[in-house]
Amino acid sequence: MKITLLGTGDAVGTPKLGCSCPACMDAHAGGKSRRLRFSILVESENGRVLIDTSPDLRWQLLKKGISRVDGVIWTHPHYDHYAGFGDFYRVQNDVNVYGIKSTLDYIMNYLSFMKPVRHDINFYSPIELIGLNITLLEVTHKPIEKSAGVLITDGRSRIVITGDTSRDIPEKSLDLMFEPDLLIADAIIPPRAILPKHMNAGEAMELAARLHAKKVVLTHLSHNFPPHDESIKDWPLGYDGMEFDF
């Protein structure tokens, strides 16, 4: 199993339009602060699955040399997590898409012209894709009523993607998240700031400690962090193109 962070940015990405903060200037200069919007690629010997489809998906897939996937899982119906699905237009037909009912209801209305093959799944009910066991876990990302994290296992390794969430994660989800080999955690801002619908880096690291995560990487990052090479002295920030093999 291989995990690739295709995009590690928040909804606006870095550099932010019109901004000249240190992180944005580093991004303009080609540093690792340059962050496309959130997508994750999951690969096995049997295929490829995307977790969310960033508005930057076309460029992400071109960089990886990918034109086809075996499925898409959407965690929630925010623009920065689904809008890039349109980049499959005239490239791949009948894409299998997965998510909870409320998420698919919203996204399918927007992307109905694509005619994806819809698969409604429930929280805590595992499905098998590309030979992997995948479970959607309920998290808290208000004002959305329902949003999902993702648990992926191959029988040996456990990967947890928190999805967009506050620290207020249901106990049932926390129990299933316990002791991941890799925790990919939402951490939109440094610890000094609070954003109620997301975790900051401090909250994400507290979650990693509670879960006894063997390894943690922070993603969905804003330009409010210092430049990447400075930030990684304090926090395990991910970067676009970062890969993990299991």
pLDDT at residue 35 is higher than 90? yes
**pLDDT at position 221:** 98
Architecture of domain 2-245: 4-Layer Sandwich (3.60)
Q: What is the pTM of this model?
A: 0.96
pLDDT above 70: percentage of residues in the chain: 100
**pLDDT at position 8:** 98
Provide the 10 A C-beta neighbour count for residue 76: 24
pLDDT at residue 202 is higher than 80? yes
pLDDT at residue 193 is higher than 80? no
Q: What is the mean pLDDT of residues 137-159?
A: 96
List, for residues 101-123, the tens digit of each pLDDT value.
999 999 999 888 899 999 999 99
**pLDDT at position 112:** 84
**pLDDT at position 194:** 78
**pLDDT at position 9:** 98
List, for residues 206-243, the tens digit of each pLDDT value.
999 999 999 999 999 999 999 999 999 999 999 999 99
Where in the chain are the domains?
2-245
**pLDDT at position 53:** 98
